[in-house]
Amino acid sequence: MFSTKGRYALRIMIDIAEQTPGELVPLKDTADRLGVSKKYLEIIAKELVKAKLISGASGKHGGYALTRAPEEYTVGEIIEIMEGPIAPIACLLPDAEECPKKETCRTLSMWKEFQKLEKDFFFGKKLSDLVQ
- Neighbouring CB atoms inside 10 A of 16's CB total 25
The whole-angstrom separation of Cα 115 and Cα 110 is 9
- Mean pLDDT for 87-103 is 90
**Residue 112 pLDDT grade (very low, low, confident, very high; cuts 50, 70, 90):** very high
Q: Find all residues with CB under 8 Å of 81, minimum gap 6, and list them.
A: 9, 47, 48, 51, 53
Instruction: Kindly list the structural domains of the chain, giving each domain's residue range(s) and its CATH number in brackets, ordered by start.
Output: 4-130 (1.10.10.10)
DSSP state of 57: E
The whole-angstrom separation of Cα 11 and Cα 22 is 18
Beta-bridged to residue 56, according to DSSP, are 64
Which pLDDT tens digit goes with each residue over 66-76? 999 999 999 99
Closest CA to 11 of 56, 37, 60, 87: 37
**Residue 98 pLDDT grade (very low, low, confident, very high; cuts 50, 70, 90):** confident
E-state strands within the chain: 54-57, 63-66
